[in-house]
Structure 1
Amino acid sequence: MVMEMPELSIDTTTTALVVIDLQKGIAAQPARPYPAPDVIKNAAKLVNAFRKNGMPVFLVHVVSTPGTALAVTSDESFPRAGALPPDWSEFVPEIAPVPADIVIAKKQWGAFYGTDLELQLRRRRMDTIVLCGISTDMGVESTARFAYEYGFQQIFAEDAMTSRSDEQHNAAVKFIFRRIGRVRKTGEILRALPRGPDA
């Protein structure tokens, strides 16, 4: 039985968009269940709609280097093929920052720890965030967990995020996001915005 979700309502005066790690070095990697180009396309629709409505857009990217990365002992690690390309941290062109956007640089998975993301949201009196990006169960989920504990309302653009596998993406959506916010498709979020559908 599929439970019907209530129609989405978004307050344009208190809602911000937070886009996680849609940068060239990460978007170039294989992704599932949605290919990165599809995720970027949906995220760009959200970015454009938020900009048109005068709503804050936070663009988050990783600027970590081998020298500043967390040095933890773990069973698995991310392979690093030497030095990163010079444009590895640059945002994909579809969501390139404009002067009104707020750019957040981070050195770990989540966008809150070690950054001023919370401060910038509070100063703009934002109490709700729409989250999207790569990857669902790492950057997005880590950010979402912090946001939940800080008391933010959350809306997850499920088809504007993706991961390394279907299992990783679906686990985050099913077992975490539905318990700490509302999971919706990009189209549903756009329809809840005054100037969304034509974005």
Structure 2
Amino acid sequence: MTDFSIDLASTALVLIDLQNGNVGRALAPYSAEQVLGNCVLLAGEMRDRGAMVIYVRVLMNELQSPLADAPLRPPGAPAPAPDASHLAPDCGVEATDIVITKRQWGAFYGTELDQLLRRRHIKTLVLGGIVTNFGVESTARAAHDRGYALVFAEDAMSGITAEAHEFACRNTFRVMGRVRSTRELIDALQAGTGDA
């Protein structure tokens, strides 16, 4: 898009919960394979240009399980598998990337994420991951509250339902930042000029 470009010096890619316990879920409108593929493409493009790439994972056995009308993990459900919190082998994490571990939906509370970003003078976050309306949206809201500019890689994330994903992308994310496709983001990265 002609109205969009990325300043790599002040932008980080933050990929949420691309881990074994999530990539096995039924997702919509994009499959886990599609999300992982697009996340790997974005990470490679940003990494090749010296930008910060961050993977966030949640310790699934330590997530809060409050009383709720529709809990994600019903009472009495078996505990997540021991490797559920491990980043998926196909997510593309490399030794130069940063891995943040969280214990709730959002990536800011109780982690070192904000400090790491501020030390690198990061002003813009490109977000992707699983699941759109939980981990990604919770992280986006906290980032917005902290003054970060936000870009959402619409096809590098997916929801438990297509309706939930589409609602977040059409209604919430467009108010908080810009929603773009992986292709549009890669085109902006390859153009390499201007602001995010």
The answer, yes or no, to whether TM exceeds 0.5 is yes
| Among candidates 88, 99, 116, match of residue 120 of structure 1 | 116
| Among candidates 175, 182, 198, match of residue 178 of structure 2 | 182
Q: Distance in 1 between matches of 2:10 and 2:20?
A: 30
Classify the secondary structure of the residue corresponding to 2:100: strand
Highest relative contact order (Cα 8 Å, sep 6+), 1 or 2?
A: 2
Q: Per residue, is there more helix in 1 or in 2?
A: 2
Q: Distance in 2 between matches of 1:86 and 1:11?
A: 39
Deviation at 1:6, TM superposition (A): 4.9
Aligned to 2:72: 78
Q: Distance in 1 between matches of 2:162 and 2:93?
A: 30
Q: Distance in 2 between matches of 1:187 and 1:79?
A: 35
Q: Distance in 2 between matches of 1:77 and 1:17?
A: 30
CA contact (8 A) 1:53 1:195 kept: no
CA contact (8 A) 1:53 1:194 kept: no
Q: Distance in 2 between matches of 1:132 and 1:71?
A: 24
2:11 partner letter: T
Extract unaligned runs of 5+ from structure 1: none
1:101 partner letter: D
1:189 partner letter: L
Alignment of 1:49-64 (within 5 A): 49-64=45-60
Aligned to 2:107: 111
Deviation at 1:25, TM superposition (A): 1.1
Q: Distance in 1 between matches of 2:109 and 2:2?
A: 32
Matched-pair identity in %? 44
Report the count of equivalent residues.
190
2:43 partner letter: V
Aligned to 2:8: 12
Q: CA RMSD in A?
A: 1.6
Q: Distance in 2 between matches of 1:6 and 1:118?
A: 30
- Cα deviation, 1:155-190, whole Å, max 9, x if unaligned, reads 100000001111100111111100010000000000
Classify the secondary structure of the residue corresponding to 1:167: helix
**TM-score of the superposed pair, with normalisation by structure 2:** 0.92
**TM-score of the superposed pair, with normalisation by structure 1:** 0.90
Classify the secondary structure of the residue corresponding to 1:46: helix
Q: Distance in 2 between matches of 1:106 and 1:186?
A: 25
CA contact (8 A) 1:47 1:95 kept: no
Q: Distance in 1 between matches of 2:167 and 2:100?
A: 27
Classify the secondary structure of the residue corresponding to 1:61: strand
CA contact (8 A) 2:5 2:191 kept: no
Q: Distance in 2 between matches of 1:96 and 1:129?
A: 19
Which stretches of structure 1, 4 residues or more, deviate above 6 A after TM superposition?
none
